[in-house]
Every structure is written in C-alpha cells, then in structure tokens.
Structure 1
Amino acid sequence: MTEQTDFSTFGDDGDDSDDQADPTDTTVPDDAPENPYIAPEEPTFAPADSLSEEEAREQADALREAIRYHDHRYYVEADPVIGDRVYDTLFDRLQTLEAAFDIDASDSPTRRVGGEPVDSFDTVEHVAPMLSIDSSGEESEVREFADRAEREAGPQRFVCEPKFDGVSIEVVYEDGVYERAVTRGDGEEGDDVTRNVRTVASIPERLHGEYPDFLAVRGELYMPREAFTAYNRERMERGDDAFANPRNATAGTIRQQDPAVVAERPLDCFFFETLAGAAFDTAWERHTTLPEWGLPVNDEARRVDDIDGAIEYRDALLDRRDDLDYEIDGTVLKVDDRDACEQLGTTARAPRWAFAYKFPARSEETTVRDIAVQVGRTGRLTPVALLDPVEVGGVMVSRASLHNPDQIAELGVGVDDVVKLKRAGDVIPYVDAVVEAKSEGYYEFPDHCPVCGSAVERDGPLAFCTGGLACDAQLQRAVEHYASRDALDIEGLGEKSVGQLMDAGLIGSLPDLYTLDREAVTQLEGWGKTSADNLVSAIEASREPDLDSFLVAIGVPEVGPTVARDLARAFGSFDAVRAAPRDELEAIDGIGEVVAGEIREFFDSEQNERVIEGLLDHVDPEEMDVETGDALEGLTFVFTGSLSGMTRGDAQALVEQYGANATSSVSSKTDYLVAGDSPGKSKTDDAEANDVPILDEEAFRELLADNGIEYEP
C-alpha cells in the first residue's frame, strides 16, 4: 500500500503563540518558488502609502503567489512551512494593498472573505451528470458487485475511500482559475454556489503544476467534527440555535444568501472524481494527481488487489470511524482500471463500476411516549414513535419510524416501552428493539384511516388507506405533487399555499383546482389580486399537459419522469395507458412485475377513478405520436447543452423514434454531436478528437427535415 500522510494534527484549535503556531520543520523546501514571502520568518513592511502603484502591484502579486503556495502546503500536503501568525500577516498586507491601490484580481486569495449577497441561486447544468451510487450494508451484495465486474471486465483492483456524509459539488476551473461551483441538485443541474464555495479555504482559486486547460471535478463539502463542535459552542454562547449535525450545518451553510456568512463557518472539502477535462488510466492515478494540481484528497484512500482487501479496508475503517475528524457512513469501492470502468458503463442513476459498502447504523435508547400513524401521499400508513428526546449520532431525535404493523408486532413495542434506536444510513431514525417492556402487549394498529376513516387494506407487511385521492391526508400531498416541477410545474402551489387553500375550503379534491374562486383567493392572508391572478393563470396553463407529465402529476406509484416517458411512448394516449393490461405494462423495458402491478392497482381503484374522471373534465393530456420509422436507422447521436425547441430527453426520444441510437458519451462510433446552448466542453472536445460532426440546433433541425422528420417545439 502507498504510504499516506497523516492529516490528523492539522486544523486543531490551539494557541497561536509563536512556540505553538508552527508544529513543523520550518525549512523552506528546495522546490519552493523564489519569493520573499515563502520564508517562515514574519516579514516587515513599509507603510502602504510609501509605495508607488507599480511597487504595490508587484508586492501584491508576490503575496498572492506566496499565499497560494502556503494554502497548498497546508490543505493539500498537510506540511506547512509557516505558522498562523506569519500567514495572517501576509494575508492582512495583501488586503491592505488591494484596498489602498484598488488592485483587483478575480483569483486573489482575499476573495475568500466573502462577496456581495445574492437574492437567489441560478440553476446551472452540470458539465457531466453527477450520478448517485448503489449501496448496501450487506457483504454479500458487495461481493455480487465485484463478481459482476469480474464477469464483464475480468479480475479487478479497487480504490477504496471513505463515504463522506457531506454535500456534493461540482467545481470548474478554466485555464487553471476557479470558474464556478454547482451543487449536485438532481444530478443533471444544480444551484450556482460559486461565490459561497469561493470562501472555502481548502479549494484553490488557482491550480498548481501541469493542469488541463479545462477541468471539472467532483468533491464533498463537509464540516470537520472538531470545528463543528467549536462552532456550535460559539453559536450557543451567543444565543443562536445549535446545528443538529455536521451535514445539516454544511448543507445550510452552502445555501446562505450572504457569502460573508459562509466565510465565517468552518467548511472544508475533499475531491475524488474528475467530471471533465482530464482522463486517467486508473482511479489511483487520479487520486495521486489531484493534489499535484492543488486539490485536496482524503488521505484514508487505499488501493487494494481484490474484493477481500476492499472488505478488510471497510472493516478497519469502521473500527476507526469515531477517530476521524469528519462524518462518514461507509466506504466507496471503485474499479481502478479506466478501460474496465468504460466497459462496465453506467445505469440511468449510478455507475456500475462503483459501490458503497455502508456501515451499520448507530444506536441509542429512549422511552416511547406515544405512537402516531402518518398517512403518506400514496396512502401508505406509517407508524411513528413519539419519544423522549435523545441524541443519536449528533442529532436530537424525538420521533422514529416503526416501519409497518408487522414490525410493531415483531418488536412487541408499545407506549412507555424503553427502546433502542438506530439511524438508517445515519439519517432516518427507527426503533430497532425493545430494551425494557413497560406496556401491556403491543400497539394495536388501526383498521381505519385516522384521517378519512376509510378502511385500511393490508399488502403484506404494509398498510394502506383505501380512500385514495379522496383522502384529505393524501390530498394535500397529492396537490403539491401535481403542481411540482417534475409534474405540471404550476407555480404558486407550494406547501404553504396548498394548506391555505384547503383550510379555507377552496380545494376539496384535485379537480377543484380548475374551478378555483379567484376572488376568494384574494381574501386569504398574504394574497392579493395580482398573486391570485397569477395562480389561476398558472393553473389554466396546465389544462393541456404533456402525457408523461400528467402521468407523473396524478401520482401513479413508481412512475417518475423516466417511467412516465416510457409509458407515453409505448401507448401514446392517457386512455391507452390506464387501460393497459398488466402483461403489456411488464413488456416495457424498466417496468417489471411489481411496478406493473402497482400501476394497475392505482388505475383499478374506484376512488382514484372518480378523481381522474373529474380531472379529465378540465384537463386534456396531449397524445404522443408513437409512429416510428427508419429514416435515421444506423445513426448515433449525442446531445449536449440546452435546446430551445425541446428538452434533450425529448430530442433523444425523437431520433430513437426514427431508428437512431442516442448515447450519453462521444466515441468514434458517434455520427453527430448536437450542441445546444452552454454545451459540455468534454463532449465537444471528444467530438473534435474523433472527427465527429458538431451540429447546432438549426443544423439538427435541417438534418431532420432532410429525412422527412418535423422538429416541433
């Protein structure tokens, strides 16, 4: 195994006096730049007003170079050559010069102290998809992952690293200079948090060494445990609420409107993937190269020869979990060889060359004070234990899931029992066992919905309200879902407004949206004529939705945007979808026996049918043309950037409809790269390298027209 640097001694809160500020050998390395401010001695400076502008600019340039070097030594190499006091002197001097001489530099280290507040975050498309990762806490499933990789690509080595419990981001560098940072979002696009991430000291403003002209990297923002504890103590001392855990603190911090607030909070970052701009033969080569460019990586990463070594790594890290200065909830295993990764490929949501081996959940004990039953949007009844508050893994928990009636019976849990809690994935608390039984028997699950009184129907261990869309508990969530972005995207129908409309009696079912009393809405608190007009207009605009959007909107179980699009393409009309036999549903790629059964049960429900018929009195879902042809047979398209006429998904569906293939990456087998606005640089570079023609949207439209295909917005 490669020898790793020990970072554990850095970032400690301690005395900044001269005899403790610098715990390292202060000898300047031979490869350090020739710069007067690299030396460990504290410099002396002439008054700023005694300098000419040219002298000030030269000194500022030297200070920026020195500060970047010292940042790299501290955050990446974990081997600083100066102490905090000297560093602060250099930093303060640079700030003084920039202010006195109005010296502006977009990549200056001083920009980390914050910037102008933002009103909201723009949405930005990722350079490449930021996928999720398959995971399990079972060793057998980890071995199945490795066996599959070996069957498809031969024996593999793995790179193992901690699975961080933080916030994932994409960071982009152009010509070595920090350009932007974007949250993961839905994996395709996220929030532009460039100004906030700029304040994180461990993320370099400028890369080091021989870096690529364009680089997009994926990292994990986190708040170190010791820094989190100290920061929480400060918050409580000044009367602010404490954060529940480091991840919540990180997520809340990075979405602050004011970068100056972010700069005050102790965020840090590890990088672990390249999304574009650099390709490596192995994952380990990437791990060792990123620090050469100034990007910090985690020093716990290891390369192992086989899956047994990966499992040993995970078990050893589990034993040391509480000794780390950051939260982790497992380990990530990645196939080391790049060619093997490309051969294994990805699914729609996750790479097939990586797997997360999760840690067992933490556990604590407390007393059950009551048990309530929540009714979800799908009608599923979930029992919830109301608890004496207890801290579990840094989170104060006052309620926990009991999952289902069968688990209640199996655990034998009732009110007043002392129970052991666990947190699944270190996130969702649930009751794991009864430690001391103080109740008589166990909680009897209701046979009628606590909200609408409809009968409760059992499906194996699960329980469901049979009231369907007519149940009020399901209705509020159903309306919110109906109006959500992935569904009909009706602006103005969020949780608060839907609650107001229901409390006022203006909505009693989904169809009531289309007969909403505009004047009555204006009388609600916080509403006026303009906002009421906007809401009604937004609802009116949803009367002729796309078929796939409508399928998502009505809440068919297991039908998200991708499955809805597949259903729409396969059947063409809403009537055809809701009448489709189970075997025809199962025949669609991606819809198995279980999902097909869920879809059929939804449409066979009398309560759901009444609501749907009511909706169809007001809504006419557009039919999708399922006619196919072979005009584009044999051609392979890749799409990048934003098209003005349709979404990339619709464009892919269109060419596939006429016999073409639509893939996600450019290769020598690609016939055309269609580039809309803000195309991904990696795809355009790959197209140029493989002599693949690049079509703008107009050229794509003309190509389709030449083949008798109409390109309609």
Structure 2
Amino acid sequence: MSEREQNPYLREPPEDLTPVDELDEEGAEREAELLREAIRHHDRRYYVENEPEIADRTYDTLFQRLVDIEESFGLQTPDSPTRRVGGEPLDKLETIEHVAPMLSIQQSGEAADVREFAERMDREVGEVEYTCEPKFDGVSIEVVYTEGVFERAVTRGNGREGDDVSENVRTIRSIPQRLRGEYPGFLAVRGEIFMPRDAFQEYNRERVERGDDPFANPRNATAGTIRQLDPSVTAERPLDCFFYDVLDASREFDTQWEEITTLPEYGLQTNDRAELVSDIEDAIAYRDRLMDEREELNYEIDGVVIKVDDRAACEELGATARHYRWAFAYKFPARAGETAIQDVALQVGRTGRLTPVALLDPVDVGGVTVSRASLHNPAEIREKNVNVGDVVRVERAGDVIPYVDEVVEKRSEGFFEFPETCPVCDSAIERDGPIAFCTGGLACPAQLRRSVQYYASDSGLDIEGLGGERVDQLLEAGLVTESVADLYRLDREDLVELDGWGEKSAENLLAELEGSKSPPLFAFLAAIGIPHVGRATARELASSFGDLDGLMEASEDELQEVDEIGEVVAREIRDFFDSEGNRRVIEELREAGVSPESVERETGDALSGLTFVFTGSLPDRTRSEAQEEIERAGGSVTGSVSGNTDYLVVGEDPGTSKREDAAENDVPELSPEEFEELVGTGEEMDRQDHEESPNQRTLDDAFR
C-alpha cells in the first residue's frame, strides 16, 4: 500500500471525521501521527517545492484537528507542527556557541573589486567555478538537526556565539521540525530568515491603522520578531527562510552547488535564483541581471554572493578572523530618493483625523532608510496624482519627516481615493476642506487606543502605571472595549491575570484611577481629546465657562469669545460635544464617578502683566496648579526665559540652562517660599531687594 493510501490526510481529508471526544487513546495517537506526517508533507510542498496540493482552508482544518487531538489526549511532541503556534514566554535568550564560525563576507559595489577577488582566487587555487546566490537582507541563522529532528536555532551574534532563538524559529513554517529523505545523522545549516515584501507591507499597514509606527524595512521587522521573548508573537508574524550553506554535517559535500541542490531533498528551502557559473565575468553578469529583476522579487536583496564552488578549494583558502576568503558580496547601489508605492494606509489619530501614509519599497533618503512617507491629505494626493504602484521621489521635511514630493513614473491610473468608511471601525468618513475624519469618535477602536493612551498620559490626567504597553494589554484582553470609561470598571482579579502584573501593580493602578476621579476641569478637557484643545486652550475654556456642563452647552459664538479660539476651533469644539458617541462616553465617565472640579471664574489682576518661568519642582503644589494660580491673578507662564520674563521660579532639582538664561537677561530668581509669598499677596517684589534676599543667597550657595 502506498504512502498516500496509508495516510488519507495527504489528500483532501474526509468530511465525516470522528469527533475528538469520541476517539480512544490508541486511535487518537494513530491519527495524530498521520496528521503530523501530512502537515509536514504539505509544508514542504508549499514552502520548499512551491507546489501546494491542498487549499489553505483544508490545511487549516488539518492543523486545528491536530491541535485539538494533542491537547485532548496530552500527545504534544517536541517536533510537532503545532509547536509553530508558540510556546511559553521566555525570561531571556540564552547564548550558545556555534557549531562552526559564522563569519562575514568581504563586499563592494565595484566590479573592479570583484575582479581583483577572482584574480586572487586564480593565484591561490587556480581556475575555479563560482556559485552565485542572491544576498538576502534578513537575519542570519544557524539551525541544527540531530537524527533529522530540529534541535536548536541560534542567531549569528558575533560569529562565534549567538542568541538561542529555537522556540521562535520553531514557529516558522518553512523551517521543518523534522527532515525527510536520506538526511545525515547530524546537520548544521546556515540560512537567512526574512519577511516577504508583500507580507511586510501588509503587516506595516496593520500597524499603521492601529496606531503603531511601522517598521523601517523588512530586515528590522525580522530582527525584532526573531528575538521576541514570547514565541506566540513570532508565530503571528509572517517570517520565511532560505538555506544556503552547510556549516557541519556527518556527510561530505564536494561543492557549494551540491549543497544547494541537496538541501531541498531534506525539506530545507533554498532559493531558485542561485546559479553555477564558469568564471567571474559570468558572475558579474549574474549580479547585473539580478539587480534589474530585484523589484520583481518578493524578498529584499542588496546584492549577490559569489562563492568558490569547490569545497576543497575553500578549505585551502580558509578564512581571516572576520571573513571567509573564498566568498565575495557584490553589492547593489542603495535605492536613493526614488521608490515605488506598494500600498496606502490610513492612520486614524485620536481626534479621528485620517492621515494617508504611503508604504514604500525601502529607500535611502539622506542616509536614512525610509519605508513610509506622508501623503498629507486627500487634496494633496489629488494634486500630485499619486496612487499605489507609482514611482515617487521621497524627501525629508527638515531632514526629519519623510513625504512624497512628486511622481516620477506614473504606473497607475488616476490617484488614490479615500474609502467612504473608516478602515478600522467602518464609520462614515467626512471631509472638512482638505482633511478627512472618521466619525466614529471615541467608539472607534483606533481612536479608542490613542484616546486611552492620551487620557492617561502626562498631557491628560497623568495616571501612573498606564503607559502604552499596558493600554495595549487591556485592549487585547478585552478589558477596555468601548471607551476610556472602561478604565473605571477594571477590577483586581482581571488585572492580576495579565502577563507582568501582580497584586501590587494591580492595586496601584486601581488607586491611581480612583485618584483621577476629581481632576481639574482643564486637565479633564485636555484628556478627552477635543480637537485642537491642548492644556493651554483647556485652561482658557475652564476659566471662561467654569464647569463642564457650561462648556458642553456653549454656542460657537460664545466659544469664540474665549481668547485664542477662532471660528475653526470653536466649530471643532461644538462638533465634538454634539457627537452622540462623545456625549455617551462623558456620561459613562460621570456614572463611573469622574467629576471634574469646577473653576472659580472670578479672576484678579494682582499679577497682571507679569511673566513667569519654572525650573525644578515645587514642594507644595504641581507646576500646573501654580500656573493656574498665576493665570487667575492675571499673569502668564512660558516655557523659556527671555528678556520679557519677570521671574524664574527655582524649585527642587532645577535645570541649569534656564538659570543661565535668567542671569544673562537679568531675570531675578524666586525660591518656592518667595513664590508662595508673591502669589499670596499679589505684590510685586522689588528686583534689587530680591537680589539681596537671604533666601536667594541660600539657593545660590546650594546650587554652586
């Protein structure tokens, strides 16, 4: 009976599968082994031979069936394909010595250097053939098999030892857990782990749409993924691998070409662009041809590797302390300034503004690798006639922010048009002049993530212990699903179940949340993400309207009476409070016990015309409270010292630059005690008297 007849899962699986809970132990063990065999077969057909035999959905059915059987009967094995979903998180990556040194390769982008390399080969070992391969731009890896079973995987590291990333590499489907065919008893191979270009662009698109920064290039994405401490994170990311070198084996290989053609027989994927050439001129022609074709490849390469084919000659040539003497990398010139747009993602800001981001083939711009660039807004896209597929010139504004300057080669029809609904929440997209907005408000998941982060940040309510990573945990665990109000429904039992949390951290966060229920009105207004309303504008609104209800009911005309608020900002504020979703969130916050403190609207003029700057912390109040006190008395606070500054308030642990600027501009310093006296009496101190005060002399002595 043939292998296929013995194993029905090598073809379409039967539809009338016995439910897992009705299997006996012997039947489950037999079926699990058949499923493992079938999944390994289909992995090889898909990744190594590029000839899949079953549909993706059928493969997923087989895989899930194996997962269910192994979990129900405790049949997990170290080399099971199910290990690809990731094991337990690691505390750290161990360091392991390589089976054989993983050295670097001499490289150059000049043909003259390549010919010089060949002349040296002719002098030292005579006329040779060369194996030519693409130079992959990924992460080099050593993978070791013993008796055909995956044993470990180690990063290149310093060439002598590297990080043990075995659990992460197990999750990569193109790397077999068990070899096939007539494999050697021991095999250590070198390969390159990479992220395919199409998968990289899709992954970056997802990151942009959920508010994360995209990776700069596929190599960075791969390096960051392969060193994850949680293998389940690696399992979710689309990594692949090509093998190209045998580091050590219990059998002999006579040539490099024999290695490349034999490894697929063991189930190890090699690259189909490798070629065996007779002389260096053919190798140079190979490089030029591959450079012309690089844009068609679904993986990043930055040159070609030219290796002496004969292994005995390689042994004779040996190596230096850093690189092999029998190999040379002929590099491509860096892509500079011009590149193709592979996709356009819409990034949803915390206020709902949609920013179009061009996802690019990585390109060098001013010495920096760029994989995304701003397209600003729909009006600019239309004006520049930009679309997916076009070759564009990328510049960096102020040498910092990349943007698409112009289309240099039109490969598409028309320009990219915004969808009618938000890519994250499907709410309608509305236009306000050249700008597009998601109308989902705080109920939009992308806006929710950013709004929760902002609500808890220093610019919001400054809730300690609720940084970006912890906000992501709460969202991913389903503990925050609707709005920032969900924060006040968290309980200790749910929090302690999260990775990295304990009783103390859970209790601390709950105490911080409880303490944030009576925030100053201005802080609350800044925290809830009203468009164009930062802390300064929030202070003006709080002072003008006194309480939240008054502001929520204010008309556009009334809003425009507030200093620094014009027609556009007034309309944005009014639209924010007119949103049913936003009002619902505010009401939920109130029901959770959040009650912003009303503001005494009476203001004085005792400090009218005086400008203050702070450095260091105050012992009896926060800097924002001090600023509010000054503004109520008619004064103002700025962030830097100039000739227009009247006082520099010097608190604990002050910086030096502001004090130096104060001395240069003859600006007197106030101690915290003198500041309290000044705001308490409203009487301006005489500068000459102040300069001679005992408190000032004491401060000067303390900070010399």
| TM-score normalised per structure 1 | 0.48
